[in-house]
Amino acid sequence: MSGLELAIIAFLLMLLAIFLRIPIGPAMGITGFIGTWIVLGKPVAPLAQLKTLSYETFASYSLSIVPLFLLMGQFATRSGMSAALFNAASDWLGHRKGGVAMAAVGACAGFGAVCGSSLATASTMGQVALPEMRKRGYSDSLSTGVLAAGGTLGILIPPSVVLVIYAILAEQNIVKMFVGALVPGILAALTYMLTVAIFVRVNPGAASTAERKSYGERFRGLIGIWPVVVIFGLVMGGIAGDWDWTQPGVQALFTPTEGAAVGAVATGLYGILTGSLNWRGFLDSILQTAVSSAMIFLIILGAEMFNSFLAFTQAPQALTEWVTTQGFSPHLVLALILICYLIFGCVMDSLSMILLTIPIFFPIIQGLDFGLGKEDSAIWFGILALIVVEVGLITPPVGMNLFIINNVARDIPMSKTYKGVAPFVLADLLRVIVLVSFPGITLWLVHLMF
């Protein structure tokens, strides 16, 4: 049996284990352990590997950014920023047909800029915006659908934990990945707002209008969102800003990890000074960060075991060579990979998909000619993968954001949420087509800054 055949069988068995509800971290780790045992012919080899791999993985300086951004998100969730963002957006957009739903999208984008988690964004904004939309007569399907879709902006608008993991796996610059995600993230928010506008014109009874605010009231509302602007500017400006105009290139004020630490401290201080983050909330934030970090690190360790097994089989190289020698169109291969992400998204969470597939798909993408440099194609593909993973969060039957919103609105049937999110899934797919066709949309800001 060739290494590629063994890898394919192991991959299918691992998927079966995941479908049988075995947690993905242990599923990948056990598959990688047994696979390495079979390839090397002795059980002591994977045991020795596990001994060193766990330390090398968890001692990585790059991974320290993950718990810091998670802590920043926990503080942001408890600091009251979400209500200020929604109120400010509603002041500007609420008087339009479907304007409160558009305001929810804008608030999700703003909250994602300091949170970095789609699940936290969906949950927090659901509690803030859903009662307001229902009070104003918005249909249940539109209310839950727009919040489930808007929540996905949490992993697309930087900072994003999933984007950090991709950058580490693909050995790419985290700052450039963040910059590359900015324009597609803004485009996603605008696309969702346009989808709402079309939805309420096709279904006039699905939404209403709020009272028009004066410009004085609108600008006063903007004062309440200054913490989000300051923290986002501090983090992104600090890690990507050119602070010395006499020197060529970007002179960052601090590293991405230091930026995450600054963001966490700033968000925590804001919560403490405003009284929205008490001692109990602080301890809960630390505990939830520890739990989430432990879960992510276990998945990463399992992925490292499985990736080591793939390296021994040389399956990624063999698969890359086979694809490149078949004469397939690069865009056809890319389309098939993105379709795989859509399928996986029906049964997996975003982080698991990235950890499971990037070691297999990334070498293939790097081996194809899209008319871009290696680094450009890596950034472009990473953003595309992130967007399609984001679609998986709102794709039935196991879209995680759908369940988060359903948990907030327990009296709304899941079928209505499925119906309400369908236009946003279609908008996401159209946006993917645009970004595939025009890579410059993703890359122009990266080229401008670096």
pLDDT digits (tens, 9 = 90+) for 20-29: 878 888 888 8
Closest C-alpha to 25, from 294, 350, 298, 347: 298
pLDDT confidence of residue 70: 86
Q: Helix 174-202 to helix 440-449 angle, to the nearest 10 degrees?
A: 140
Whether residue 246 has pLDDT greater than 50: no
> Does pLDDT of 423 surpass 80?
yes
Decide: 355 and 300 in contact? Cβ < 8 Å: yes
pLDDT class of 251 with cuts at 50, 70, 90: low
CA distance 395 to 149: 10
Quote the CA–CA distance of 250 and 244 in Å, as a whole number: 8
Average pLDDT over residues 376-381: 94
pLDDT(317) > 90: no
Among residues of the chain, what percentage have pLDDT more than 90?
Answer: 18
Return the C-alpha torsion angle 87, 91, 96, 101, nearest 10.
-10
Domain holding 350, by residue range, is: 3-50+64-449
Contact 265, 293 (CB under 8 A): no
Residue 371, helix vs strand vs coil: coil
Residue linked to tokens 């506008």: 197
Query: In this predicted structure, what is the pLDDT of residue 250?
Result: 47
pLDDT at position 398: 67
Q: Is the pLDDT of residue 349 over 90?
A: no
Mean pLDDT of the region 11-35: 85
Residue 423 is assigned to a structural domain of this protein: yes
Q: Is position 148 within any domain?
A: yes
Average pLDDT over residues 96-123: 86
pLDDT above 80 for 202: yes
Reply yes or no on whether the pLDDT at 368 is more than 50.
yes
Confidence check: pLDDT of 445 > 80: yes
Q: Among 49-63, 302-316, 372-386, which range has the highest average pLDDT?
A: 372-386
Rounded Cα gap, residues 144 and 126, in angstroms: 8
Rounded to two decimals, the pTM is 0.86
Q: What b/e readout covers 67-92, taking b as 16+ CB neighbours within 10 angstroms?
A: bbbbbbbbbbbbbbbbbbbbbbbbbb
What is the chain's mean pLDDT, rounded? 85
DSSP alpha helix (H) spans, 314-413: 315-325, 330-344, 350-366, 374-392, 400-408
Residue 303, CA atoms < 13 Å, CB-side half-sphere = 22
Do the domain assignments include residue 56?
A: no
Q: Is residue 58 part of a domain?
A: no
Q: Is 394 strand, coil or helix?
A: coil
Give dist(CA 36, CA 389) in Å, integer.
29
Nearest to 340 by CA among 354, 322, 326, 323: 354
245 has a pLDDT exceeding 50: no
Q: pLDDT grade, residue 196 (50/70/90)? A: very high
Q: Cα separations (Å) of 335 from 213, 381, 385?
A: 45, 11, 11
pLDDT of residue 257: 84
Q: In this structure, are residues 131 and 83 in contact, taking their beta carbons and an 8 Å threshold?
A: no
Is 378 a residue whose pLDDT tops 90?
A: yes
State how far the Cα of 135 lies from the Cα of 92, in Å rounded to an integer.
Answer: 18
Q: Which has the closest alpha carbon to 161: 126, 114, 214, 195?
A: 114
Residue predicted with more confidence, 91 or 249: 91
**Tokens 């201080």 found at:** 269
Q: Is residue 55 part of a domain?
A: no
**For residue 90, is it within any domain?**
yes
Interval 148-170 mean pLDDT: 87
Q: How sure is the predictor about 391, in pLDDT bands with cuts at 50, 70 and 90?
A: confident
Examine residue 43 and say whether the peptide bond preceding it is cis (omega within 30 degrees of 0): no
Q: Identify whether 397 is preceded by a cis peptide bond (ω within 30 of 0).
A: yes
Q: pLDDT confidence of 382, banded at 50, 70, 90? A: very high
Number of domains in the chain: 1
Structural tokens at position 164: 């950090």
- With CA atoms as reference, report the closest residue to 355 among 298, 396, 406: 298
- The reported pLDDT for the residue numbered 243 is 47
pLDDT of residue 242: 53
**Residue 35: inside a domain:** yes
442 pLDDT tier (thresholds 50, 70, 90): very high
Q: Are the CB atoms for 381 and 176 separated by under 8 Å?
A: no
Domain annotation covers residue 218: yes
Mean of the pLDDT values across residues 96-106?
A: 90
- Band (pLDDT 50/70/90 cuts) for residue 69 is confident
**392 Cβ contact partners less than 8 Å away, ≥ 6 residues apart:** 341, 342, 344, 345, 346, 348, 350, 353, 399
